[in-house]
Amino acid sequence: MPFMHGSMPLRRTFFYLQQGKVKFRDNVNVFAMGFHKRPTEEQSGARDFVYWHWAQLQYHNPKVQLVKHADKVITPFARAYLNDGREVLFDLDGMKREEIEDTLAKTLGKTELVERREHLESIAKLNPADFGSKNERQCMCEVQGQHPCTGLLRAPKCMTGKQRWNHNLI
Amino acid sequence: MLSCRISTSSTARCLLLATSQFNSADGIQKRQMGRRQPKQGKPPILPPSKKVLYHVVHAPWQKPEDVEELLWRRHAYNNAVLSIREVFRAELAQNASHGQGIEAMKEAEAVELDDLIAENQKRNEEKRAVREAREDEMTKETKRVILDEIQVELEKRNEEKKMAEEEVRRVIERSDGFVDRQNLETKILEALEKPTIYDFAIDRAGNKYFVPEPVKYQEGTPTRQKGRLYDQTLGTNHGYVEEAAKKEQSL
């Protein structure tokens, strides 16, 4: 399998995806990046960034639209479209991929303040009346005094959805 | 009123459906007959296994004093939780009133983002200035190279022009001996007197071997087969030899 050679499969490992530093704030709706497929020395940082970190970006920012512009303009750039209509332009000329990553993470990434606020909000959002895998209880049957799940104890027929008085009617 | 209307209409529709089904199939139930019949002896949905079905764990009865104690503890715990919640609520309200709540944090974030964007803008401007300077430098360099190339090309063309002029001049000088209408007869006579013969063999030293010996005027019938004429050992005197050294000397 030729796909399994070189650095190609490395980028797609779950561990590598988790290592991504750039986690955009909620303000960022779209992130576009212009790079070159055959770059000069100044342009090679943007191309390396796309090669190494694009999958990480996708992994960490599932709600952000990510756009690639290959060979469109001379100078490599990145442009973020915020939800209030503003556009943030990054000039990536002559930057290495590490520098690009740092710049993006510092400017549009989640800062400490944002993370703290989100943590507090997530605490406030916890509602004990919610059920599901992301909540305190998985199922209603875990609540005291409720009927156990019908997988364990069959419910009386009158409580199931199939109950009908006259099967010939409808 | 509206709900009444909906309910009446739905019942009416149900009745209509029921009557139509009964009408079409002579009172035989045909609803859901399109579904595949389950295989005989094997119900489509298996009931829970005997181990699981109706197996409800009944905890053994506890001692009354234990129950009492647990109830008391539960009340104490619930009271503690309520108190802590009240304390936290008060703390949150206080934070919000002092500008430390979520809203205040959001405002701080917006300010922070503005600062970061401004900083980025500044960085972009700096890079743009640097790039412009670099591009100016490159433009100048390119211009200089192009001008140099143009200079070289012009010089080359001048040189070529001079050479062409010189050649034309030489040709004009040589044109005295050219054949034209006036001196045609004379030139023909001259050529007959001094014929140029190219029918010879040549060796590496440049010696020319004329076999048979060139004659000014052809006498008799010319030889038809010439293929083996030059198939001779060089150095033997068979014909006329024009040696290269002598020719150079004569030149």
CB contact under 8 A, B117 and A113: no
Predicted pLDDT of residue B236: 65
Domain residue spans of chain B: 184-221+229-250
A2-110 in CATH: which number?
Answer: 3.40.30.10
Burial of A153 from C-beta contacts in 10 A (0-12 / 13-18 / 19+): middle
| Pairwise CA distance, residues B248 & B251, whole Å | 5
pTM of structure? 0.53
CB contact under 8 A, A91 and B127: yes
The three-class DSSP label of residue B30 is coil
Torsion of CA B6, B7, B11, B12, to 10 degrees: -40
CB contact under 8 A, B102 and A25: no
Is the minimum CB–CB distance between A148 and chain B shorter than 8 Å? yes
Report residue B10's pLDDT band, with 50, 70 and 90 as the boundaries: very low
Report CA torsion sign: B100, B103, B109, B110. Answer: negative
Number of cross-chain residue pairs from A and B with Cβ atoms under 8 Å apart: 64
> Given a cut of 90, is residue B200 above it in pLDDT?
no
Predicted pLDDT of residue B229: 60
> Given a cut of 70, is residue A110 above it in pLDDT?
yes
Is the minimum CB–CB distance between B124 and chain A shorter than 8 Å? yes
Report residue B197's pLDDT band, with 50, 70 and 90 as the boundaries: confident
| Pairwise CA distance, residues A107 & B116, whole Å | 5
The residue among A40, A153, A165 with the most chain B CBs within 10 A of its CB, best to mutate, is A153
The residue among B15, B103, B109 with the most chain A CBs within 10 A of its CB, best to mutate, is B109
| H-type alpha helices, chain A | 8-11, 14-18, 44-60, 97-107, 112-125
Which chain B residues are Cβ-neighbours of A152 within 8 angstroms? 48, 52, 55-56
Mean per-residue pLDDT, A90-95? 93
Is the minimum CB–CB distance between A86 and chain B shorter than 8 Å? yes
- Angle (CA) A71-A73-A74 rounded to 5° is 100
Is the minimum CB–CB distance between B57 and chain A shorter than 8 Å? no
| B217-236 residues touching A, CB cutoff 8 A | none
> Given a cut of 60, is residue A142 above it in pLDDT?
yes
Is the minimum CB–CB distance between A154 and chain B shorter than 8 Å? yes
Which chain B residues are Cβ-neighbours of A28 within 8 angstroms? none
Dig out the tokens for B249 from the structure.
């000397």
Is the minimum CB–CB distance between B52 and chain A shorter than 8 Å? yes
Predicted pLDDT of residue A163: 75
In percent, how much of chain B has pLDDT > 90?
40
Predicted pLDDT of residue B30: 59
Give residue-wise pLDDT tens across range B40-55. 665 566 777 788 788 8
Give residue-wise pLDDT tens across range B122-172. 999 999 999 999 999 999 999 999 999 999 999 999 999 999 999 999 999
Partner residue opposite A121 with nearest CB, options B31, B48, B102 = B102
Domain residue spans of chain A: 2-110
Is the minimum CB–CB distance between A124 and chain B shorter than 8 Å? yes
Report residue B248's pLDDT band, with 50, 70 and 90 as the boundaries: low
Dig out the tokens for B165 from the structure.
């002029």
> Given a cut of 60, is residue A102 above it in pLDDT?
yes
Report residue B3's pLDDT band, with 50, 70 and 90 as the boundaries: very low
CA distance A49 to chain B (A): 18
The residue among A74, A87, A114 with the most chain B CBs within 10 A of its CB, best to mutate, is A114
- Report the Cα–Cα distance between both ends of chain A, in Å, rounded: 59
| Pairwise CA distance, residues A12 & A51, whole Å | 11
Chain A residue nearest residue B51, CA to CA:
A152
Give residue-wise pLDDT tens across range B57-93. 888 898 999 999 999 999 999 999 999 999 989 988 8
Predicted pLDDT of residue B233: 65
Is the minimum CB–CB distance between B122 and chain A shorter than 8 Å? no
